[in-house]
A and B are shown apart, each in its own frame.
Chain A
Amino acid sequence: MRLLTHNMLSSNIKGVSNGFPLRLDVENSVSKEVEFNPDFLRNMFSKIDWKALVDAARSMGYAELPEEAPDSSMLDSDEFLKKFHHALLELHLDEGALICPETGRRFPVNKA
């Protein structure tokens, strides 16, 4: 599971009022190369919950993203876009689980 997907999903259990962000329990993470498309990244940037992305990337061992949501002028920096690209699209949770922040229920993730 990529972090873009993680950033979009919440726990859908009946009665849960705030199921986002799902915590990550990482057993194994992999990185798969994805073609770099700056337009797509600029498009997605405003729609991402930045904190959730940074936390998720850290729990997968990638700490290159700035803690605070950068302002949109950073979108002209290739260096920043490459990091954003890597965190958003190339990091995969291969084995592990998503954990509902309210009920603690585990949603296992394996391959893809």
Chain B
Amino acid sequence: MWYLCVFYHRLLDYRRPEVEALAELFGAFGEDGDNSPRRSLEWKLPKNHHSDSPFHLVNLPSEDIARKIANRSILVKGIYELWGEGSSYEELEVAIKNHPDDRKLPYLTQQSTFRITVDSFGKAISFQEQNERIKGLAYIPFKGRVNLRNPDHKFWLMETDDYGSQNGLPPVVERRIFFGREVGAADRKLLPTYQLKSRTYLGPTAMDAEMAFLMANQALAMPGKLVYDPFVGTGSILVAAAHFGAMTMGADIDIRVVRDGRGPDCNVWSNFKQYGLPMPISLLRADNNLPPWRPGLKEVFDAIICDPPYGVRAGGRKSGGRKLLKGAVDPYTVPEEKRTDHIPSTAAYSLVECIHDLLDLASRMLVMGGRLVFFYPVLREDGSSDAQFPEHPCFKLIAACEQILSLRYSRVLLTMVKTAPYSEEIAESARKKHIDFKENHVKWLEEGNLRSSVFSPIDPLSDTAEDYKVNKDSKPKYRGKYV
């Protein structure tokens, strides 16, 4: 059935993927079949609307699923059963009258309570006008009593106007009015609760709460699942995953965040305690470049969510001193008496190597159908980006959502699904690549052209190239607006 899905007007790229992810989570595509060709929703836009409009129409299998999606989402303002729409109030009246009675009457009974809210996009409607609009709906046979606080049924009258440009969108050619019954709405109260400014322990790159929840949604975090963050830092992403009931585990190469924090009451553990969330299974001091997992351990995580260090505010580090990697000095042997608690020195870790290690780790450690969700930095030229994203034969890219950070940089949240098992050949080619990186580390780092070594197709096995081109539609210019 088609529902009207109204979004908050922010993070435009993230809106549909979030609904799609939650649809998957709540079983809108049926059970299993991770390899089935099309696991996505049908979408439509209202007449004459641009795809960045907050109003979308989506086909969902049931009202129950629609409610669950709306209630868990961060960017959905509401999902509505549309009773009518039109470009004028006369048209709206006709449409509502034509809406089948058996869809309307159960919500208009004498015993029930209701409320009508008037809302608008791109313009303000005065209180008096709102009242007039509501009175104009008298042709709908409401029998119940009005209850503004806690009604059984919530009705919404929403309007967009046809003048000028609105909030950075191209002008809507035609005025549009919607009337519908609310099925579910997002719980944005989460955001003030989890906002970073009231969090005890923060680092320079702590993930914004709203984004962290979006990432947890993309990763399908839920009770019974295990979520891993290899660059855990102060734990801001795992907090969101834990809020949705997932078990969490984190690792970081920086011993200070993992072990010490800023004291006994200000560390990653206290961040979880602050919200009454279950503690992570463990926080490890581990190097993404040399993971400590036992041989034979694979397919253990249901999702990996992370914000890799991409060298703007925090650079990546891996084990091994710079001189050592250069071969200028012999490997340092730790004297026996200093072995205990020894933390190896670290050297710069380039983003490409980091992403390579991340994809290899994820392809080994994720369950089939498990999700890898991470940020990938992109350079913007001429106000638009035409990025090439990393690929891996085990993964299928299902969403790429751009967040513009400045004129020159943006970051893209990539969501990948594991669609093929980790094979011997993949392990072998990853191992070779790993040694390659190690041997050429200093040279490549100094030349600064590491990109080509990863982005040139290493593996003809990869057949994901075509799937991913779909996501590469060039973006219109006005996206320079920071929404």
Contact = CB atoms under 8 A, between A and B. Distances in A.
Interface string A32-61: 001101011011100101000000000000
Nearest to B299: A47
Given A1-B282, A105-B339, A108-B340, A12 B247 contact: no
B290 A5 contact: no
B225 interface: yes
Contacts of A2: 281-282
A74 interface: no
A87 to B, nearest CB: 14
Nearest to A9: B292
Interface in B251-287: 269, 278, 281-284
B1 interface: no
B300 to A, nearest CB: 5
Nearest to B290: A12
Given A10-B293, A19-B294, A106 B340 contact: yes
B340 A43 contact: no
A37 to B, nearest CB: 6
Nearest to A5: B282
A44 B283 CA distance: 18
B381 interface: no
Interface string A4-27: 110111101000001111000000
Given A40-B226, A44-B226, A106-B340, A20 B295 contact: yes
A40 B299 contact: no
Interface residues of B, number: 26
B470 interface: no
Given A12-B290, A43-B225, A105-B339, A5 B295 contact: no
A89 interface: yes
Contacts of B281: 2, 4-5, 89
Contacts of B225: 40, 43
B297 A47 contact: yes
Q: Label chain B's interface by main secondary structure.
A: loop
A108 B294 CA distance: 18
Contacts of A20: 294-296
B224 interface: yes
B293 A8 contact: yes
Interface string B223-261: 111100000000000000000000101000000000000
B386 to A, nearest CB: 40
A105 B342 CA distance: 12
B473 interface: no
Contacts of B447: none
Nearest to B269: A112
B265 to A, nearest CB: 14
Most chain B C-beta atoms within 10 Å of own C-beta, residue among A2, A12, A19, A39:
A12
Contacts of B31: none
Contact of B224 (A19, A39, A105): A39
A43 B293 CA distance: 18
Given A9-B293, A47-B297, A34 B278 contact: yes
Given A12-B292, A20-B295, A37 B223 contact: yes
A8 B294 contact: yes
A40 B290 contact: no
Contacts of B283: 112
A8 B365 CA distance: 11
B223 A40 contact: yes
B341 interface: yes
Nearest to A32: B279
Interface string B186-224: 000000000000000000000000000000000000011
Contacts of A18: 295
Interface string A93-112: 00000000000011010001
A95 to B, nearest CB: 14
Interface of B: 223-226, 247, 249, 269, 278, 281-284, 290-297, 299-300, 302, 339-341
What are the 3 closest A-B residue pairs judged by CB atoms, nearest first? A39-B224, A10-B294, A20-B294
Interface of A: 1-2, 4-5, 7-10, 12, 18-21, 34-35, 37, 39-40, 42-44, 47, 49, 89, 105-106, 108, 112
Given A8-B294, A49-B296, 5 more contacts: A5-B284, A10-B293, A35-B278, A40-B225, A105-B339
